[in-house]
Amino acid sequence: MTSCRICGGRLHEFGDFGTQPLSSGFLEPDYIGDEYFFRLALGVCASCSMVQLMEEVPRHLMFNGHYPYLSSGSSVMRKHFEQTAQHFLRTELTSPDAFAVELGCNDGIMLRALADAGVRHLGVEPSESVADIARRNGIRVTTEFFQESTATEIREAEGRPAQLVYAANTICHIPYVDSIFRGVDALLADDGVFVFEDPYLADIVDKTAYDQIYDEHFYFFSVTSVSAMAQRFGFELVKAERLPVHGGEVRYTIARQGRRTPDSSVAALLAEEKVRRLADLDTLNAFFRNVEKSRDDLVELLRQLKAEGRRVVGYGATAKSATVANYCGIGRELVSFVSDTTPNKQGRLTPGSHIPVRPRSAFENPYPDYALLFAWNHAEEIIAKEIRFREAGGKWILYVPHVQVV
């Protein structure tokens, strides 16, 4: 693609990670077919400043019946979503006939709190496996991709508009954002809000967090690009809050044009992005040079440890780790296995890099000399939980914001 997926403006490419597999494409150990690969590269739109992937992966390949990620897997995230639900109950969902829709509700961790408060709700979740978990938790879920037609059906079936359409770590996954906005337009009450939170481009750039860049993350939002996107589809960005979760996100609150007065947070972050020239090609090229340095430092460290005869394993077979392992060329000769608590990843091989995935019990039996922490966005929680690893002399390798041993 050479033009912007949102506005049709010209895309300037600035970062090429080479060919990459599907980040959730874990393989059976005896698998001998072809793996799906695509070119992972970034571009920035010269007109609306949206940073996006140059190549789009068909959605049915990514979000299918076997999608392995669970929102409630982390206690920090459980708390985050419970607080989010309480916030909505106090602000947007106070009327007795309030109705809330969550796009990509995953295992229903946020909606559970709304259900407990007796609020009418609906989750829209395309992945059967996680939608089933939500259903078992007592959440109303429809197993579909959200788009304009889905929204119209929901509006008709419910016989009422939604005061809130919410999405966490979902909107940046969806290239066809025009249909999402038309859907929100069909579904949202006149004074309702569309709230979504996704990784923030400024945090990715500042922390050289290049592992946020993989098949499922199509857009890398900034306040500038989201504000332009909202306007383009007849909406207005009225609030932008930075969140500490997932390595740094922004929660965007979008209302129909003219319905709410924008909060000072929008102007403040727009000004900040302008001053630091966040979407300038010079800034983004400098980011990519930092990415290359991070890769070189990590590979050098792992080779040195191998030469010293140290045992290194990976911790957390995350979607994020696919880009790091494949871009750095890390295979099982450098990292003997990756431990992960997700049962349907265990016993398989990581996509592209083919490192075996073993259960958590393999990590401590015996502890390795070093653990490469692929889930760095949960570093604090994991390092605290695995205190015995350090007591046994183990060391963590982190690569965000730079390669370091702690």
d(CA 162, CA 103): 12
Q: Which long-range contacts (CB under 8 A, 24 or more apart) does 53-58 make?
A: 53/213, 53/215, 53/217, 53/218, 54/1, 54/11, 54/13, 55/1, 56/1, 56/5, 56/175, 56/218, 57/22, 57/215
235-243 and 249-256 beta bridge pairing: antiparallel
Give the distance from CA 35 to its chain's centroid: 23
Least distance to Zn ion from the beta carbon of 349, Å? 38
Amino acid at site 390: R
Angle at 163 between CA 161 and CA 169, to 5 degrees: 110
37-45 and 11-21 beta bridge pairing: antiparallel
Output 2 or 261, the one with its CB closest to Zn ion: 2
Residues 235-264 binding Zn ion (CB under 5 A) are: none
Output 6 or 141, the one with its CB closest to Zn ion: 6
Least distance to Zn ion from the beta carbon of 229, Å? 8
Residue 201 binds Zn ion (CB under 5 A): no
Output 154 or 279, the one with its CB closest to Zn ion: 279
End-to-end CA distance of the chain: 41
d(CA 227, CA 221): 10
Size of the residue set binding Zn ion (CB under 5 A): 8
Residue 139 binds Zn ion (CB under 5 A): no
Backbone angles phi, psi at 227, to 5 degrees: -60, -45
Least distance to Zn ion from the beta carbon of 290, Å? 25
Residues 16-45 binding Zn ion (CB under 5 A) are: 45
Least distance to Zn ion from the beta carbon of 403, Å? 34
Output 2 or 264, the one with its CB closest to Zn ion: 2
Least distance to Zn ion from the beta carbon of 285, Å? 19
Residue 48 binds Zn ion (CB under 5 A): yes
Output 50 or 172, the one with its CB closest to Zn ion: 50
Residues 49-108 binding Zn ion (CB under 5 A) are: 50
Q: Token pair of 283, please? A: 């800034």
Residue 4 binds Zn ion (CB under 5 A): yes
Sheet containing 11-21: give its strands across.
11-21, 37-45, 51-53, 219-220
Residues belonging to the chain:
406
Output 200 or 219, the one with its CB closest to Zn ion: 219
d(CA 301, CA 90): 49
Residue 236's SS3 state is strand
Interface with Zn ion (CB under 5 A), residue from 1, 9, 132, 140: 9
Output 46 or 379, the one with its CB closest to Zn ion: 46
Residue 335 binds Zn ion (CB under 5 A): no
Binding site for Zn ion (CB under 5 A): 4, 6-7, 9, 45, 47-48, 50
